[in-house]
Amino acid sequence: MNILLVEDQDDSRKTLSRLIAMRGHKVTQVATAEEAERAMATETFPFLILDWMLPGKSGIDLCRELRARQDGDEMFILLVTGKTDRADLEMALEVGANDYLTKPIDLSLLNVRLAVAERQIRDLTERNQARVALQQSARTLTDILENTTDGFFALDYAWRFTYVNPEAESSFGRSRKELLGGELWQKFPELRVPLLRRIIGGLWPSRHQSNLKRATRAERSGSKCTPIPAAEESPLSFVTSPSVSAQKTTGSLKAKSNHWGRWPAESPTI
């Protein structure tokens, strides 16, 4: 592991460096916060050991600034201090230190702190890698949806629009800005029961189908129809046919087993 050690006292810095290197880590030694910033500009350090009291910018100020960076949560920070007051140690944690070690440093306690840091850094690295992979997948999917000739839109559990691609904007005849966050039934009240019956088919649990039947009967009898509750299991997403005009956005949806539907060009207008 690549560790940055920031300690202004030569003897302490050399002793700490030697002890850390004995655990198989590569240690870069600097004496000030400014030197640490220059080192981090050219190299990545998942683990930083900062002395609280430094000439110029203090270790605690450096810790606060590092946590404020966009990648501030991608490093483990161990603050070394001669302060033993509880309020000071709480301040160290509040500004973002993962752990602290008081001086004079006890070798056995240092090994414990390093072992804890190593485990947390492994977990942190795995989470960061998973997050990067997820972000890349999201960018890839977004790029596909933004450039496809099919219109896609997604709804959350409350039937609010959470995504509308450019082709769907064309099919709806409304802008993405106008639709996002809005409820499907408010934007298209004419779809409340006829469309829902086509979407659900036999895919939803019986309790939702019962609600739908009651709402349909109410509509036919002319009585006031209450909104159909959204599915609890998962949000819905749909794909529309690129040939559908804005006037046909009230056409039926053909539900598929994966909850993606398509507006056929020949669908009748409701």
Domain spans in the chain, listed from the N-terminal domain onward: 2-140, 148-262
The CATH code belonging to domain 148-262 is 3.30.450
Average pLDDT of 149-178?
A: 88
Longest dimension (CA), the chain: 89
Mean pLDDT on 161-171: 89
Nearest to 183 by CA among 262, 130, 236, 257: 236
Neighbours of 113 (CB within 10 A): 19
**Is the pTM here over 0.75, yes or no?**
no
Lowest-pLDDT range of 153-157, 180-184, 229-233: 229-233
Comparing C-alpha atoms, which of 208, 212, 210 is closest to residue 225? 212
% of residues, the chain, pLDDT over 70: 70
SS3 string, 184-204, reads HHHHCHHHCCHHHHHHHCCCC
Q: Give 193-218 pLDDT, tens digit per residue.
A: 555 555 555 444 455 445 545 555 55
pLDDT in tens, 96-128: 999 888 888 888 888 888 888 888 888 888 888
**Spatial contact of 161 and 41, defined as CB atoms under 8 Å apart:** no
Distance CA 252, CA 268 (A): 7
How many CB atoms lie under 10 A from the CB of residue 7? 23
Question: How far apart, in whole angstroms, are the C-alpha atoms of residue 254 and residue 203?
Answer: 11
CATH homologous superfamily, domain 2-140: Response regulator (3.40.50.2300)
Q: What is the mean pLDDT of residues 58-83?
A: 90
The residue-averaged pLDDT of 8-24 equals 89
Q: Report the pLDDT value the prediction gives residue 213, as an integer from 0 to 100.
A: 53
- The answer to whether 5 and 16 have CB atoms below 8 angstroms apart is yes
